[in-house]
Structure formats: structure tokens, C-alpha cells
Amino acid sequence: MTGLAIPGLAAPAPAIAKTTGPRELRQEDFLLLLTTQLKAQDPLSPMDNSQFVAQLAQFATVAGVTEISVGLNRLATTLEGDTRSSAPLWLGRVVAGPDGAEGLVDQVMLDPKGDHILIMSNGRRLALRDARFVA
């Protein structure tokens, strides 16, 4: 049977990389699926406008959630590294150092290098980075 050849319709499907397990879909994956769908649609029966708008809205939502996630991760990293904001949490708490010795924190001070030092009721000093909560 002879017919009209349409370029691209008889082309083999692109090779898909095999993975060893499930992976998270990224924004790029969603965009690839959307553009592939647009390329493969029947020109005589195009996608319904409402479906297309819904998919674009989903794409915008994915992009927005990704930006929020990046921002929250950045904020968490900042707060994690900002011991000044967490210093009051150590006051009145029992902490232990790397050697296992425990003590009640009475004060928190900065040393000349800018590191936080916990001063315990027994007079012992402990760098904040080396301390862990006991009670």
C-alpha cells in the first residue's frame, strides 16, 4: 500500500536509559513529556485547549514547588549553621562532651574566633560543636 509519508511519524522511539530503581521525576522530565506530547499529537485532532491549559498549570505548579523547596533548603542550611540563634536553647540543659562528661549549661559565650562556648555550672567549658543534649 502506498501512502503519504509524514516525516517523524515512522521514526523509531528514542532509547530510554535503564535505571536500577525508582527515581524522582524532575521538572525537566515533565517538560520533556509535555513537548513530546505536543509533537506527537494528531494535527487534524489537536489537544483540547482546556487539557493543554491544565498541563501548563501543572508545569507552573511543579516549578513553584521546586523553587519553594530550594528556598526552604537554603533557609534550613542557614539556620543550621547559625548557632547564634540556637544558643539560648542550650541554657539550663544538661549536655555531654565527646568524653561523656556531663554538665548543666549556665552561660553561652563567644571566644575570640567567634565560636560558641558553653560554660557549665561546674566551671567546665565546652565548644558548642562538640556538645550534645543529654536532658
- What SS3 string covers 92-134? CCEEECCCCCEEEEEEEEECCCCCEEEEECCCCEEEHHHCEEC
> What residue ranges define each of the domains in the chain, with the CATH number in brackets?
87-133 (2.40.50)
| Banded model confidence at residue 5, pLDDT cuts 50, 70, 90 | low
Query: Could you read off the pLDDT of 47-69 as tens digits, one per residue?
Result: 777 877 887 788 788 778 888 88
Task: Compute how many other C-beta atoms are within 10 angstroms of the C-beta atom of residue 119.
Answer: 15
Highest mean pLDDT among 2-16, 55-69, 78-92, 115-129: 115-129
95: which residues sit within 8 A by CB, 6+ positions away?
A: 102, 103, 105, 118, 120, 126, 131, 132, 133, 134
Residue range 111-128: mean pLDDT, rounded: 87
Higher-pLDDT residue of 13 and 97 is 97
